[in-house]
């Protein structure tokens, strides 16, 4: 139906009822057209604005040419000519080898098949991982591949199996977990840098590792318990050593100080005796006979402190008793 037919029918209906004439019908038609145009303009304008949140980036495609928009807030786009796709740039993750609470294993299986691996010593083992990643380039994340997360999951599976296959089962279950995680992460980062699909691995961790049978699990748990006991014993021994060493060092220092003090005391005593001897020798040189007699008396007094000394004259007549004798020195 054309606009003229609509006007004629509207005019005929209104005229037959006696309510409207031809001018009023034209006026109503213009109002209807204006209302339609305003509605279309509002629809177009409402699609011309979009909002980017803090955790997002957007890719605006203008006639097939994409461009990243990284600033958050309200933005304008040209209707029909430009399209907008938003990308989440927060850290996201997925499970490898098991089903997480929020999603199934990203490769489409529920753990048993993807987690079964073989070690360098030809043992089977179940190992579960959790990978975390984030988008670094939204344009490449949207257009460099169909689904970069699937590519990351496949790369991770390859690197995990390659790394686990170079370690023994004992290392995977007990002591080598940190080293294995580090090697897997470095290998994945190298491959992601080579293909450059706009996402980056943040971290990959071992969630669980266990052998496939209950008997082997029990045996390895016993091994782990024994190793932990060994570590505890070593830590206790180191603690005891650290506690005893300061006391032993202090005792050794005390012995050395006492020896040094005794050494110095003996040196001082020897020097004093030397000084006394030198002084006595000086007196002896001056008066040899008197000094000899004095030394004799002093020596006898020290040897026999209770001895009475009697001095008899040379002629045998007079007798003189001297007690005690004062020391000359």
Give the per-residue pLDDT at 221. 74
Give the per-residue pLDDT at 217. 67
209-238 mean pLDDT: 80
3-state secondary structure of 260: helix
3-state secondary structure of 82: strand
Task: Give the long-range contacts of residues 181-188, CB within 8 A, separation 24 or more.
Answer: 181/205, 181/206, 184/129, 184/156, 184/159, 184/160, 187/159, 187/162, 187/163, 188/152, 188/155, 188/156, 188/159
Give the per-residue pLDDT at 108. 44
The model's pLDDT over 140-167, given as tens digits with 9 standing for 90+, comes to 999 988 899 999 999 999 999 999 999 9
Task: Provide the whole-model pTM.
Answer: 0.52
Q: Which residues pair with 68 in a beta bridge?
A: 59
74 vs 4: which has the higher pLDDT: 74
Average pLDDT, the chain: 78
Say yes or no to pLDDT of 14 above 90.
Answer: no
Contact 96, 185 (CB under 8 A): no
Give the per-residue pLDDT at 19. 47
9-18 mean pLDDT: 48
Give the per-residue pLDDT at 160. 93
Q: With bands split at pLDDT 50, 70 and 90, how would you rate the model's confidence at 34?
A: confident
Q: Which residues pair with 200 in a beta bridge?
A: 134
Contact 122, 49 (CB under 8 A): no
Give the per-residue pLDDT at 18. 46
The model's pLDDT over 285-318, given as tens digits with 9 standing for 90+, comes to 777 877 777 777 777 777 776 656 565 555 555 5
Give percent of the chain with pLDDT exceeding 90. Answer: 23
Give the per-residue pLDDT at 273. 86
């Amino acid at each position: 139906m054309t606009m003229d037919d609509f006007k004629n029918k509207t005019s005929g209906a209104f005229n037959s009822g006696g309510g409207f004439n031809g001018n009023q019908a034209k006026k109503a038609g213009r109002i209807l057209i204006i209302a339609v145009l305003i509605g279309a303009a509002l629809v177009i304008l409402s699609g011309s604005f979009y909002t980017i949140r803090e955790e997002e980036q957007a890719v605006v495609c203008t006639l097939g040419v994409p461009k990243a928009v990284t600033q958050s807030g309200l933005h304008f786009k040209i209707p029909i000519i430009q399209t907008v796709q938003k990308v989440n740039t927060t850290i996201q993750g997925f499970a490898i080898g098991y089903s997480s609470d929020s999603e199934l294993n990203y490769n489409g299986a529920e753990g048993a098949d993807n987690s079964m691996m073989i070690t360098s010593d030809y043992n089977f083992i179940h190992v579960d991982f959790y990978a975390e990643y984030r988008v670094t380039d939204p344009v490449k994340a949207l257009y460099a591949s169909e689904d970069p997360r699937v590519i990351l999951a496949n790369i991770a599976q390859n690197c995990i199996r390659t790394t686990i296959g170079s370690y023994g089962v004992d290392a995977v279950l007990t002591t080598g977990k940190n080293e294995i995680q580090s090697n897997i992460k470095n290998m994945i980062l190298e491959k992601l840098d080579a293909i450059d699909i706009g996402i980056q691995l943040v971290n990959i961790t071992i969630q669980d590792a266990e052998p496939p049978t209950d008997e082997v699990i029990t045996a390895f748990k016993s091994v782990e318990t024994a190793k932990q006991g060994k570590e505890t014993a070593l830590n206790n021994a180191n603690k005891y050593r650290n506690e005893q060493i300061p006391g032993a060092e202090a005792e050794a220092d005390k012995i050395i100080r006492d020896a040094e003090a005794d050494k110095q005391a003996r040196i001082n005593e020897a020097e004093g005796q030397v000084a006394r001897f030198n002084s006595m020798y000086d007196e002896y040189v001056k008066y040899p006979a008197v000094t000899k007699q004095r030394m004799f008396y002093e020596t006898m007094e020290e040897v026999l402190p209770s001895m009475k000394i009697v001095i008899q004259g040379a002629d045998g007549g007079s007798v003189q008793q001297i007690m005690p004798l004062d020391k000359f020195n």
